[in-house]
Structure 1
């Protein structure tokens, strides 16, 4: 087995066993703080000596959360609450929930009333995040999260420790961008392998994940370029369902870049090298974050960035994976599709949900999409 294959197996093991990773932190005496998407300030948790842990729900039928949510709510949020009600997060010291959409706002209240033993900490972000008053609002929100973390966990915050954490996170983001570029030149990085590299990052300390990613990039750099498969760029909130990725692989498609919140959307923006304080540097990172449906985008830059990415990576087409019942994504969809088509690119949109167990319609759409691209 080559080193590339060994690394691919390690990423798969971690990505597919979040419970094992969670228990490993607890067994080592590490306090764990859950981080609900989309832009939870993980750096604050890390700087206080605890482990941030991604919470993106699961591909499963919702059972207990139906008592709290109507059926037309986002499946990511529904399954997050469902797992909590089933005590799957027992042992977490706290969970941070950002309120970037109405569904996440409802989650905070349902968590407060339905989940015992895991206190929640809200993080309220401003949509007008770039003006001075928006930056001040964000900073005060972070300060509240720090106070709540200190109260819930007994850990202490220091701006100096945050500075060291920011360097860890900036390095990790740089490596993830390098991986995305390197993977685009190698068909051996299948959609599933690519998914595992990105997904595993949610369940590891970033410094540990960086070691594996750095080695993976080094291995890819030593290989000969191979790009014979159909090249696509993906867009959406979450593109990690193994059944969906298997369909792509069966149709000889490879993902050469993404505009996916759970993947590259986390790594496009670094904290600046300096600022009045390290907390201000973290505020600046959020201020400069963009090109996602959850954040105000008056310049309509997201669709421009998606088209530019597709052209840069020489993509044959764009796959938009629409999270069912996600209003912000649905609002952006017409603009994204128009921009892609106006640029002369082919696109297909499929709707997914955490509770889906059959992908027959998606399979038909993707098979047709492959044929269109193959004979374009």
Structure 2
């Protein structure tokens, strides 16, 4: 299948998650909503159910969730609850809530109370350890995953066997590898995949069984690998933040000949950086995978005095020969706001051009954002013309 046809299919899935969910339900699958961050989707898959990513939405406003949420909760979390309340996600058979930030901790209980009050789906609570790489952290993760496993087994009506989980880990590792390869290929061939299409390919993975997504993505990767060497003359940027999946926002990149050649985005590359071990106890493998997650503003860093995450972002820009960085700052995201001064200093010290742009999933007018991106692009192009 040609590149354009594959990209069209990915866009259709990414832009119609409710239809995708209904399709799986019509095939007899049960589905479990997985809220950010690092939910053990493999357990859902091993139970024969479909993990369904809950990362807010770009086509709703916050209304019903105001009854449960403080106004300073980030829009991503509030819009997840909005969809659970207004019937958009009624096809789900349960939802997993994690608590890796100050908003998600109370939100997990808001969702539980709301679902109980309305007689809707069961809510599965998941608390990750911040000291995740130590042996006691690994043990704690395993205990939490066992709790999730038991709740999922009740919903599925079947046991999640070690064999099924081991096979699922292989399925997920293959998909993570395909997504990492895709990100690299887009960086090598920005002329072939627009920012909008890149976002759709990665977003679609949250609404598909990983086998289905991998099959399509490996075919796309094969087509991209066959392309001749790129002669891209536009601007090459790296993105960072929690989420930047709005097609209207991403179209601004395309209008200004800006390619996203790599990312440090939570619902993109951060989510598939690390594979799970394929040998040994599969539950421990999932715990060790989370223990190996690093360079994330939401995760505790024992060596934070060395500013390792900021160095990681700087190196990401340099390694991908990017012209700069765009930091998408989620409104009311305390971890990102507190980290930014350190990140800003590291970027300035390294001479990396960057711009910080505030985003909210209820935004419909991107005029200021477009101006900021145009200014950054013009600066890069002017500098290239001089040298």
Q: Place the TM-score, normalised by the shorter chain, in its bin.
A: over 0.9
Q: 1:102: Cα distance to partner?
A: 1.8
Bigger mean CA deviation after superposition, 55-64 or 26-35: 55-64
1:49-128 matched pairs, under 5 angstroms: 49-59=48-58, 60-115=60-115, 116-128=119-131
Bigger mean CA deviation after superposition, 260-269 or 218-227: 218-227
Contact kept, 8 Å, 2:169 with 2:278, in 1: the verdict is no
For residue 358 of structure 1, the aligned residue among 358, 365, 372 is: 365
TM-score normalized with structure 2 length: 0.94
Post-superposition CA distance 1:192-214 (Å, at most 9, x none): 01001100000001111011111
Q: 1:132: Cα distance to partner?
A: 1.1
Distance in 1 (alpha carbons) for counterparts of 2:112 and 2:96: 12
Q: 1:284: Cα distance to partner?
A: 0.6
Distance in 2 (alpha carbons) for counterparts of 1:107 and 1:56: 14
Q: 1:235: Cα distance to partner?
A: 0.3
Tell me the matched-pair count: 374
1:1-376 matched pairs, under 5 angstroms: 3-59=2-58, 60-115=60-115, 116-186=119-189, 187-226=191-230, 227-275=232-280, 277-299=281-303, 300-376=307-383
Q: 1:188: Cα distance to partner?
A: 2.0
Post-superposition CA distance 1:111-168 (Å, at most 9, x none): 1221231110011011111111111111000000011112233232111110000001
Distance in 1 (alpha carbons) for counterparts of 2:212 and 2:91: 22
Distance in 2 (alpha carbons) for counterparts of 1:86 and 1:345: 44
Post-superposition CA distance 1:83-109 (Å, at most 9, x none): 111011112111000111121111221
Distance in 1 (alpha carbons) for counterparts of 2:111 and 2:354: 38
Give the gaps of 5 or more residues in structure 1: none
Cα pair distance change 1:253/1:67, threshold 3 Å: same
Distance in 2 (alpha carbons) for counterparts of 1:11 and 1:225: 24
- SS of 1:121's partner is strand
- SS of 1:102's partner is coil
Give the gaps of 5 or more residues in structure 2: none
Q: 1:357: Cα distance to partner?
A: 1.0
Contact kept, 8 Å, 1:95 with 1:118, in 2: the verdict is yes
Distance in 2 (alpha carbons) for counterparts of 1:325 and 1:155: 41
Bigger mean CA deviation after superposition, 310-319 or 218-227: 218-227
